[in-house]
Amino acid sequence: MTETPETMDIGRSMRRRRGKSRSSGSGRKEGGRPRKRSRSRKGKGGGGSWFSGPRAILTGAILLLLGSGTGYLYATQVVFPGPERERVDLAEVPDLRGGGLDEALGLLADRGLEVAVVDSIRHPGRTEGQIVGQSPFPGQLIRPGGSVELTLSLGPERLPVPDVTRLRADRAETILRTTGFEVQVDSVEADEREGRIVATEPEAGTLLVVPSEIRMTVSLGPPLVEIPDLVGLSEEQARARLEDAGFEVGEVEVQGRFGFSQREVIGSHPEAGEESPRGSAVRIILGRRGFFR
């Protein structure tokens, strides 16, 4: 087909219209410039900046506290300073133990301190009136005018020595130790039965400081004495000789023996030369000349 001038004009007119319709649907502003789109930047993980959200609240709280503290210090120290505190020289507590009350009064008065006696106790190593304790302890610092509490000794306890004579040694020792005394044991031959207490030193009833040592003497039994020879003596002479030797006269036995005077001693039991405890009894045997006289 042969294009005519009219046909060509129609085609140009249609192309212009199509171009206008395309340009009207594009995202351009007037004047042909493209529109700008704003995008918000987000940190990793979807969080905001340091000054947004909970972090901003925490930061503000910290700054507020710092500011309040600084302001308080400035106000109290610079703008409205408080009165200066008076300096107090503290006194050192001296060691008063072992001394007397008068000495303690003087030492404390020199340091501006006072005395308060709060207790008195028995003490085995301190005489009556000596200081055995204090509070505060030596070397501590207290304000002038303060008081030091003292404990005074009433002296050692004194108790009478119990009477343990004639008791068994184990029983006597238990009594003495229970009372508070210390015990030393001596042994001696005595007329008292073996194992019994003969005496104590000091004697029973003596007042002693507790604890003190008591010596108790335990009997080993009577000493052994040789039986004297009584043969040929009369009954009266035999009795006297036995008593002089420390024996007692026991049973008198009469036996018929020829060749001996009437009522003369012909023997003894125990026999002469044997040993027997002093104080024990000796039997005398007397003879007679006939069976019927």
**Angle value at C-alpha 88, between 86 and 90, nearest 5 degrees:** 170
pLDDT tens digits, residue range 164-204?
A: 999 999 999 999 999 999 999 999 999 889 999 999 999 99
Q: What SS3 class is residue 170?
A: helix
Residue 151 contacts residue 133 (beta carbons within 8 Å): yes
Say if residues 96 and 107 touch (Cβ distance below 8 Å).
yes
Is residue 155 classed exposed, middle or buried when 0-12, 13-18 and 19+ CB atoms within 10 A define those classes?
Answer: middle
* pLDDT digits (tens), the chain, 293 positions: 445 555 555 556 566 655 555 544 444 444 445 454 545 444 444 445 555 677 778 887 788 778 777 777 766 666 656 666 667 789 999 999 999 999 999 999 999 999 988 789 998 888 899 999 999 999 999 999 999 999 999 999 999 999 999 999 999 999 999 999 999 999 999 988 999 999 999 999 999 999 899 999 999 998 999 999 999 999 999 999 999 999 999 999 988 765 556 778 999 999 999 999 988 999 999 987 654 44
Q: 8 CB contacts (<8 Å, ≥6 apart)?
A: none
Q: Which fold has domain 224-288?
A: Trypsin Inhibitor V; Chain A (3.30.10)
Q: What's the distance, Cα to Cα, between the start and end of the chain in Å?
A: 214
CB 101 within 8 A of CB 150: yes
**Domains 158-219 and 224-288 equal at CATH topology level:** yes
Q: Which of 119, 117, 115, 120 is nearest to 148 (CA)?
A: 115
**pLDDT (tens digit, 9 = 90+) per residue, 231-241?**
999 999 999 99
Handedness of CA 255, 256, 260, 262 (dihedral sign): positive
Domain-wise residue ranges, the chain: 91-153, 158-219, 224-288
Contact 113, 62 (CB under 8 A): no
Where does 158-219 sit in CATH, by number?
Answer: 3.30.10.20
Distance between CA atoms of residues 26 and 201, nearest Å: 136
Mean pLDDT (the chain, rounded): 82
Give the right CATH number for 91-153 from 3.30.10.20, 3.30.70.20, 3.40.50.10160, 1.20.140.10: 3.30.10.20
